[in-house]
């Protein structure tokens, strides 16, 4: 990638911000309808302590959910790879859980789990675990057959084949799923916080967004949304860098991401 290609997204974003600010200034759009970038930056600076503290709360839920999703996805994928019966039992329910809107079941989870942080983590984990499960399962199933035959000819047991051949071969797939799960964990955390905030448990950036909407502090709302967007980009970039580092260290091939 050339330096021009690297700077193109930044230049395009800056151009968009300039056009946005120019449009709201020339058209005299009220701040409570659509604030310009300058108003958003001003709103963030005037309340940055509260917004950053709320961001830390959201990040705590996101990190816990990502760890839980990675662990759960890996364990279920290994069970599916080790047993056809386990695969037949797990896969349909994993798909059902994935296609069920978390916003519909979040109120029930918050009621059933009598601890706010744990309830938010459960909701975010439900959203985030499926990419890890599906990618890892695909990686475990994509082991080169000639290597599997070699292990079999040398008398390797199914467990040895799984942990010494299939699991290392699935590492790029797992890391690709983890990168996707990172952003989904953030989305799940925010959705769960919206539901919890609606019930009076204001926490995280979702609580600040709802609070700003009720007060018609639209610039502050946009500041919180911008923080979420930047956080999502940084999480994706950080997990991408982690993936490349691990693959270089272990000499693995390119990622086999399953979307």
pLDDT digits (tens, 9 = 90+) for 34-78: 999 999 999 999 999 999 999 999 999 999 999 999 999 999 998
**pLDDT tens by residue, 209-243:** 988 988 889 999 999 999 999 999 999 999 999 99
CA–CA gap between residue 201 and residue 194 (Å, rounded): 9
Q: Give the Cα separation of 38 and 148 in Å (integer).
A: 60
Q: Residue 29 in 3-state DSSP?
A: coil
Please name the helix (run of DSSP H) or strand (run of DSSP E) that holds residue 78, with its range, or none.
Answer: helix 48-82
Spatial neighbors of 167 by CB under 8 A, at least 6 apart, are: 78, 140
pTM: 0.87
Tell me if 252 sits within 8 A of 171, measured CB to CB: yes
Distance CA 129, CA 134 (A): 9
pLDDT exceeds cutoff 80 at 3:
no
Q: What is the largest CA-CA distance in the chain?
A: 77
């Amino acid at each position: 990638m050339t330096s021009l290609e690297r700077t193109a997204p930044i230049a395009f974003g800056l151009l968009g911000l300039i056009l946005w600010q120019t449009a709201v200034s020339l058209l005299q759009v009220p701040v409570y309808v659509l604030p310009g970038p300058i108003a958003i930056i001003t709103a963030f600076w005037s309340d940055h302590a509260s917004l950053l503290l709320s961001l830390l709360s959201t990040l705590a839920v996101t990190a816990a959910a990502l760890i839980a999703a990675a662990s759960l996805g890996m364990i279920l994928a290994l069970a599916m790879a080790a047993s056809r019966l386990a695969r037949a039992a797990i896969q349909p329910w994993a798909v059902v859980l994935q296609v069920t809107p978390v916003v519909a079941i979040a109120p029930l989870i918050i009621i059933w789990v009598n601890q706010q942080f744990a309830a938010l983590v459960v909701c975010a984990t439900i959203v985030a675990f499926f990419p890890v499960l599906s990618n890892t399962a695909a990686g475990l199933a994509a082991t080169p057959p000639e290597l599997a035959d070699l292990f079999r000819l040398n008398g390797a047991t199914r467990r040895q084949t799984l942990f010494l051949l299939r699991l290392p071969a699935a590492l790029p797939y797992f890391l690709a799923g983890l990168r996707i799960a990172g952003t989904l964990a953030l989305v799940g955390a925010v959705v769960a916080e919206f539901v919890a905030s609606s019930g009076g448990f204001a926490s995280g950036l979702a609580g600040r967004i709802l609070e700003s909407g009720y007060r018609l502090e639209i610039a502050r709302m946009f500041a919180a949304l911008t923080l979420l967007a930047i956080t999502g980009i940084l999480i994706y970039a950080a997990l991408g860098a982690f993936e490349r580092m691990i693959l270089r260290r272990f000499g693995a091939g390119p990622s086999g991401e399953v979307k």
